[in-house]
């Protein structure tokens, strides 16, 4: 039978994490926009959001999931899954052009690639289109 200390060590090793740490740097919490799910996509109105500015980003909440949506050009946007690949926390912060997970400080670029761990896997990217002030995230 394993001792309490041995079980605690095993649990920590299996969690992939250890104790939570705060994200470093100057991450600020993203504004939240509501997305409308229509069965195969999520639509987001950019009016009145940070998406009106080039390089602006928001956290999109919808019944289909939570997404990180950023404006990357005049009429171009990137959308990625907002669930951290490390321990499934919702990524809610941004620091310049990177997204920051509030749980353990993992950082991702606007295409979802890991810039800094502990996360090892990229976030899923979704195709987007823009028309009449609406961004459509194809699922």
User: Phi and psi (nearest 5°) for 14?
Assistant: -80, -20
Exposure of 53 in the CB half-sphere (CA atoms within 13 A)? 7
CB atoms under 10 Å from CB of 109, counted, come to 16
**What tens digit of pLDDT does each residue of 96-105 get?**
889 999 999 9
**What tens digit of pLDDT does each residue of 6-49 get?**
333 333 333 344 434 454 457 899 999 999 999 999 999 999 99
The pLDDT of residue 15 is 36
**pLDDT beyond 50 at 106:** yes
Q: What are the percentages of helix, strand and coil residues in the chain, rounded to 5? A: 10, 40, 50
pTM here? Answer: 0.81
**What tens digit of pLDDT does each residue of 108-133 get?**
999 999 999 999 999 999 999 999 99
Each domain of the chain, given as residue ranges in start order, spans 22-138
Question: Going by CATH, does the domain composed of 22-138 fall within 2.102.10.10?
Answer: yes
The pLDDT of residue 96 is 86
Neighbour-count burial for 112-136, b at 16+ CB within 10 Å, e otherwise: bebeeebbeeebeebebebeeeebb
Q: Are 61 and 33 in contact (CB under 8 A)?
A: yes
Beta pairing, strands 31-34 & 57-62? parallel
Longest Cα pair distance anywhere in the chain, in angstroms? 65
> Closest Cα partner for 64 from 83, 48, 84, 78?
83
How far is Cα 19 from Cα 111, in angstroms, rounded to an integer? 28
- Residues 6+ away with beta carbon under 8 Å from 11: none
């Amino acid at each position: 039978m394993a001792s309490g200390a041995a079980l605690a060590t095993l649990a920590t090793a299996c969690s992939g994490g250890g104790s939570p740490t705060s994200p470093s740097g100057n991450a600020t919490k993203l504004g939240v926009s509501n997305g409308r799910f229509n069965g195969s996509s999520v639509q987001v109105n950019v009016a009145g959001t940070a998406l009106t500015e080039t390089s602006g980003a928001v956290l999109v909440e919808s019944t289909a999931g939570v997404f990180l949506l950023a404006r990357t050009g005049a009429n171009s946007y990137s959308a990625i899954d907002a669930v951290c690949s490390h321990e499934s926390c919702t990524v809610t912060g941004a620091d310049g052009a990177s997204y920051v997970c509030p749980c353990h400080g993992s950082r991702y670029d606007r295409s979802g690639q890991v810039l800094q761990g502990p996360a090892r896997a990229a976030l899923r990217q979704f195709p987007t289109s823009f028309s009449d002030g609406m961004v459509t995230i194809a699922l």
